């Protein structure tokens, strides 16, 4: 029993646990994605296998990669870099373990509950009430843990990564219960059109206040370290951080374009969507100027390459996002595969790449072992990059075909055969991403089991 307690009190334990479970969810989540992709190629392939029909498999895919893979890996990174940046230890590793447990119970409820149709059905808020509770508890516990860690810091100034990680927890502790309408346990929704407003307030807070702060915070930690350069501007960090929370929280209405919500909400969400270029360009400018002249160091480092590429995906996502929030553009791009392409470069491209890169960078610091194989990290990078670039191009093309045809009077049934080849190609590209998930988990596992042990003095040096 005391041995168990000693294990739970090890400071690196929860961070590693979040990474390992996150990488496992990467495999499971993308396998569900493949099932859903096959459903759209050959709808009778899994005929009458209830858990795998599109309407049940898709939410399992989405929630598992979102809350399971990307977010868990990034939280694992944060649980390492926040104490490290504050020159202290995590306030309570056992409490972080409890958060890990509650968090994974929530994610596990997805494949189990959705298979039987136990879902609240609103996009990104599908987990049923009991697991909204476990998730909220996990977030609140983590928030307390991090705030207490800050209180016990030995480094006086708070680095920008700490702001983002702390902000994410504080915001999500409010955003998640509101978005999930937790005061209506049976439906997780309010009645009428107002529900759409609340749902998309949360729907865009999810990338905005969960994924973006986690990923940008991790990039702020990893990129200057690998480049061995100081942060370019403290002021830009401030501008990026505060405009992120001030603007991102206003743009959910752009998910219901030309829909029956009030015009002032649509106008506000479009204008603030355009204004999102401020936090995005400020953060990217600050990061890229910090590594100016030293990009080669990031490219040469397997982990750095992932993070650098993640910032490029961030740029593409966040140029595309504001543009597609314009009503004239949305008439063509909404309701079709264009949006699916966009969401994949946001979650797998931007947040997923940075999650993987930060994890590969932090893993040796955390475990005291060198990466089992840098070549496997590079292989994973190649597989994901080929898969995701293809995926994005295929879905964007399919979306333009659909949107253009509909806008000119074609019916859904007439356009479905036109996108059939793209649905096939999407499934093929998805296989590459799944392969990358397997390669990544193998490499992570082998690093923890077989990675060459780093000499303690070298490790101290790396940590300082």
3-class SS of residue 59: helix
Distance separating alpha carbons of residues 305 and 300, to the nearest angstrom: 7
One character per residue 326-345, x = contact with another protein (rule: CB under 8 A)? -----x--xxx--xx-----
Q: Where are the alpha helices (DSSP H) in 42-190?
A: 54-63, 71-85, 93-115, 129-151, 160-179
Interacting residue with another protein among 225, 250, 266, 305 (CB under 8 A): 250
Interacting residue with another protein among 25, 31, 35, 56 (CB under 8 A): 56
- Segment near another protein (CB under 8 A); pick from 98-106, 144-152, 346-354, 424-432: 144-152
Q: Does 43 bind another protein (CB under 8 A)?
A: yes
Q: How many CA atoms lie within 13 A of 423 on its CB side?
A: 17
Distance separating alpha carbons of residues 131 and 128, to the nearest angstrom: 6
Residues 381-440 that bind another protein (CB under 8 A): 402, 406-407, 409-414, 416-417
Q: Does 147 bind another protein (CB under 8 A)?
A: yes
Residue closest to 71 by CA, chosen among 276, 221, 212:
212
Nearer to another protein, 24 or 162 (CB): 162
Let me know: does 291 contact 281? Beta carbons within 8 Å: no
Distance separating alpha carbons of residues 65 and 25, to the nearest angstrom: 6
Interacting residue with another protein among 13, 217, 252, 341 (CB under 8 A): 252
Q: Which two tokens stand for residue 23?
A: 């990488």
Q: Does 150 bind another protein (CB under 8 A)?
A: yes
Q: Does 151 bind another protein (CB under 8 A)?
A: yes
Judged on CB neighbours under 10 Å (0-12, 13-18, 19+), 205 is buried
Q: Which two tokens stand for residue 235?
A: 């002021």
Angle value at C-alpha 270, between 265 and 272, nearest 5 degrees: 95
Nearer to another protein, 250 or 305 (CB): 250
Interacting residue with another protein among 13, 33, 59, 78 (CB under 8 A): 59
Least distance (Å) between residue 307 CB and another protein: 23
Let me know: does 53 contact 42? Beta carbons within 8 Å: no
Least distance (Å) between residue 111 CB and another protein: 14
Interacting residue with another protein among 187, 300, 323, 382 (CB under 8 A): 187
Q: Does 123 bind another protein (CB under 8 A)?
A: yes
One character per residue 270-309, x = contact with another protein (rule: CB under 8 A)? ----------------------------------------
- Segment near another protein (CB under 8 A); pick from 244-252, 350-358, 381-389, 449-457: 244-252
């Amino acid at each position: 029993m005391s041995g168990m307690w000693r294990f739970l009190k090890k400071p690196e334990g929860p961070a590693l646990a979040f990474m390992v479970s996150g990488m496992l969810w990467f495999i499971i989540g993308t396998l569900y994605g493949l099932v859903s992709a096959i459903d759209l190629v050959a709808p009778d392939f899994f005929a009458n296998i209830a858990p795998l029909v599109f309407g049940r498999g898709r939410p399992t895919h989405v929630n598992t990669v979102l809350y399971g893979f990307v977010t868990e890996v990034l939280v694992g990174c944060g649980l390492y870099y926040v104490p490290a940046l504050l020159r202290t230890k995590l306030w309570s590793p056992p409490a972080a373990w409890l958060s890990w447990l509650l968090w994974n119970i929530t994610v596990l409820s997805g494949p189990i509950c959705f298979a039987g149709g136990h879902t609240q059905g609103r996009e990104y808020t599908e987990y049923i009430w009991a697991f909204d509770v476990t998730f909220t508890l996990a977030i609140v516990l983590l928030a307390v843990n991090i705030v207490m860690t800050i209180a016990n810091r030995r480094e006086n100034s708070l680095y920008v990564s700490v702001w983002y990680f702390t902000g994410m927890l504080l915001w999500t502790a409010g955003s998640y219960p509101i978005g999930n309408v937790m005061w209506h346990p049976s439906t997780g929704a309010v009645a009428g059109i107002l529900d759409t407003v609340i749902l998309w307030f949360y729907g865009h807070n999810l990338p905005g206040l969960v994924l973006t702060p986690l990923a940008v915070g991790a990039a702020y930690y990893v990129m200057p370290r690998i480049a061995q350069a100081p942060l370019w501007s403290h002021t830009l960090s401030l501008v990026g951080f505060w405009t992120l929370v001030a603007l991102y929280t206003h743009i959910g209405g752009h998910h219901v374009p030309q829909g029956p919500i009030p015009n002032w909400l649509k106008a506000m969400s479009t204008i603030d969507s355009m204004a999102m270029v401020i936090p995005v360009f400020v953060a990217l400018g600050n990061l890229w100027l910090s590594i100016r002249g030293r990009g080669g160091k990031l490219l040469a480092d397997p982990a750095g390459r992932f993070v650098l590429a993640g910032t490029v995906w961030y740029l593409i996502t966040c140029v595309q996002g504001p543009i597609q929030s314009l009503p004239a553009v949305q008439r063509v791009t909404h309701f079709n595969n264009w949006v699916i392409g966009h969401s994949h470069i946001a979650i797998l491209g931007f947040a997923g790449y940075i999650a993987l890169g930060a994890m590969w960078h932090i893993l040796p610091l955390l475990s005291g072992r060198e990466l089992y194989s840098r070549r496997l990290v590079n292989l994973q990078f190649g597989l994901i990059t080929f898969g995701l670039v293809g995926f994005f191009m295929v879905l964007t093309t399919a979306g333009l075909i659909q949107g253009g045809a509909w806008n000119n009077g074609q019916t859904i049934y007439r356009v479905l055969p036109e996108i059939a080849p793209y649905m096939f190609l999407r499934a093929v590209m998805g296989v590459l991403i799944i392969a990358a998930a397997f390669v990544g988990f193998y490499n992570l596992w082998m690093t923890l089991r077989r990675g060459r042990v780093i000499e303690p003095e070298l490790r101290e040096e790396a940590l300082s």
